[in-house]
Each structure stands twice: as structure tokens, then as C-alpha cells.
Amino acid sequence: MRWSWLIAAAALVPAMCRATPAGTPSEPPAASTPVTTRPSASDVVAAFVESVARSDAYPEAARRFILEQWNARRADGRLDTLLAESLSVIHPEFKSAMDDYDGEHRARSAAALSRLAEHEDPWLAVNAAILAAQALLDDDRGLEADRLLQVMMTRHADWQSRTTAGAEGLFLAGYCALQALRYDEARERLQAFTREYPDAPERLRGSARQMLLELSRREPDRLGDVHDLMRFASRELSHGRTDDYVREHQQKAVDLLAKLIDEAEQREKQQSQQSGGSKGGRSRGGSNRPGQPGGQHAQRSTLPPGQGGDVGELREQRRVRPGEAWGRMPPQEREALLQSLQKQFPSQYRDLVEQYYRQLAKENDEP
């Protein structure tokens, strides 16, 4: 049994990372924290074998097999898979869960491994949690994977000394924190991964560097965060999750949209006033010629090209609870709202906004 399939986690990362602009550096600035390495695979396996030899909790036949394998393999360093194989011998349910994963029964494997992550045997619990997180991520259940890893790392502070997949575990913890939009924690986890596992597979290290680069470029409370919040809410709602955590992120998206619209409105007012003042100073008697700002023609103005649509329309729309009446709107009103959204946001955000509104409407229509 191999752990190498864990590296497939790196394939999930591009969906989380925005495209890197051309001509920019491929890595964020190096951290000043000294390099710290974790126990090698051979050290971890040696500690495991020692614990097996001292414990009466394991079947005698299993203990004998593990010790024989240890003595046969340690001379030539063939220890990478011994821990997983030993856990499969000691705990048949672990082997069954791994067989399910290899047999494409991912949901069943994830459920079994999640249960084993609660086991009293710390070696089994730690390794099952890491594998369960991968299985959950394969099914786009990032929030469940995140919670499972958080629980495991809290219960087992020495978890990195109990697995030969420590690099994969820490990488997944950073990736899951990013999916859960805990940006600071994600940065800390990924920086720790790059420091502590300098010999980790390049696919993981390259993906970690890319995520750190994007985190370093993040502009808090701007459109990028709207994009992340809406994608998070859409993903969780698609799995039928409507708990407080998901609703909190929904509300954050709504509030941030309102804030950005207010800012756009203020910019428009300032530009309108500046334009009106300069033109008004050149006109006699303060009257407005056709086409100039002022009077009733200035009551409905628009943002400069590329900065949004009609702010008045957007302001009215944000007073309505998102999704509240979408399904009952006349078609022409729905189209007007979507057109306004299309003016306000670039195409990469537009689809998410539309999907977000429709999903909320579906949720509200359910009894």
C-alpha cells in the first residue's frame, strides 16, 4: 500500500489560485524564519515499531510480522510504506477503507477513514485523518476536510511524529484553511510546510509557493474577497449545508458588495461635483446648457466607463435580501438585475454573482 496518491492533492490547487500576471515573480519573498525539519520517515517508522514492540494492545501475530518487516527492510531503507502496511495489518478496517479508495468508492472510504480518525490509537487516528481529508477533498468537501484536520491536530499535538505523510498533512491543512477563507492561517501553514519539508515532492512545494504568492497579492475587502466568499457559499450550498458558518459567509458577501457599491457611488458623486463645478464656473447665470451636469439631468448619472453601471439601480437592488424574490420576479426584472450586475462586475465575478443569487433563491423556496 502506498501513500503516493496523497500527492494528487496538488492537482486541486489551481482552482484555488488566481492566474499569475505575466512578468511577475514566481515566488513570494522568502520567510526569515529559520529552516526547521521534521522527523524523517525512518525515524517515524522506528518510533512506531518501538511502540508496537512495547504494547500489549496489538495482536501477537501482527506484532511479530511488523518486527520481521522492520528487520528485513531497515538495512536498505525500504521503509516508506511500512507504517501504512502495518496499520492495515493491525486494523483491518483501515485496510478496507484504503481498498475502497483505490477502488473508486471515495465516499465510503471517506466515511470509514473519518470514523477511524476518532480512534484511541494515535498512530491510526493521525494517518486516517490525513487520508480522510484527501478523500473528502476529492469529493469537493473541503470544509469537512478542514474541520477533520483541525480536530486531529488539536488532539494530537505531536501528529507530525506519527506519520510518514507529515508533508502531505501540513500541505492539506494549509490548502483547507485557504478553502475556508482563513487567509492568515493558510499562510502560516503553507510557510511552515515550505520550511519544515524542504524535500517534499515538487508538485506540493510548487503549489504551496503559488498559493503563498497569491496570498501575498491579496487585497482585503475588494472584489477578490467577494469572489472567494461567493464561491465558498456556492460550494457549501451545493452540498446542502446551511449552518451558521455558511450563512455568515453569505452575509459577508452581501455586506462587502454593499460596501463596494457605496464606495463606487461616492466616487461618482465626487467626480460629478468636480465636473459640475468646473463647467458651472464657465457658464453665465449658473444655468446648465443641454448635456451639462446639473438640474434634473444630473439626478441619474453613471459611473465612468469600466467602473460600473447605474449606481441608483444597484443601490435599490442591494436593499432587497439576496435571493428573496428572485424566483418570483417577472422575467424582464430579472434580466434588468443581471444586466446591472454585468455592468458592475468583470465576467469572472459575474457568473458567480448570478449563481449565488439563484442558489439563495432556491434555498428560500424550499420548505
For the domain that residue 119 is a member of, what is the CATH number? Answer: 1.25.40.10
| Domain-located, residue 282 | no
What number of other Cβ atoms are within 10 A of residue 299's Cβ? 8
Q: Are residues 170 and 231 in the same domain?
A: no
Residue type, 205: R
Q: Are both 117 and 155 inside the same structural domain?
A: yes
Total Cβ atoms within 10 A of residue 215: 18
**How many domains would you assign to the chain?**
2
Q: How many CB atoms lie within 10 A of CB 225?
A: 18
Based on the fold, state whether residues 126 and 87 are members of the same structural domain: yes
39 and 136 in a single domain? The answer is yes
Residues 190 and 310 in one domain: no
Same-domain check for residues 164 and 258: no
Q: How far apart are CA 269 and CA 273, in angstroms?
A: 6
User: Structural domain of residue 317, as residue ranges?
Assistant: 225-274+304-365
How high is the pLDDT of residue 307? 42
CB atoms within 10 A of CB 328: 10
CB 186 within 8 A of CB 212: no
CA distances 52 to 37, 86, 162, Å, are 25, 10, 13
- C-beta atoms surrounding 135 within 10 Å: 25
Asked if the structure places residue 284 within a domain, the reply is no
pLDDT by 10s per residue, the chain, length 367: 433 333 333 333 333 343 333 333 333 333 334 445 688 888 999 999 999 999 888 888 889 999 999 998 888 877 888 999 999 999 999 999 999 988 778 899 999 999 999 999 999 999 999 999 999 998 888 899 999 999 999 999 999 999 999 999 999 999 999 988 899 999 999 999 999 999 999 989 999 999 999 899 887 777 777 777 777 777 777 777 777 777 787 787 778 777 887 787 788 788 878 876 655 555 444 444 444 444 333 333 333 444 444 445 444 444 444 444 444 455 665 555 445 444 444 444 445 555 555 655 665 566 5
Tallying the residues shown for the chain, one arrives at 367
Tell me: do 185 and 47 sit in the same domain: yes
Query: For residue 190, is it within any domain?
Result: yes
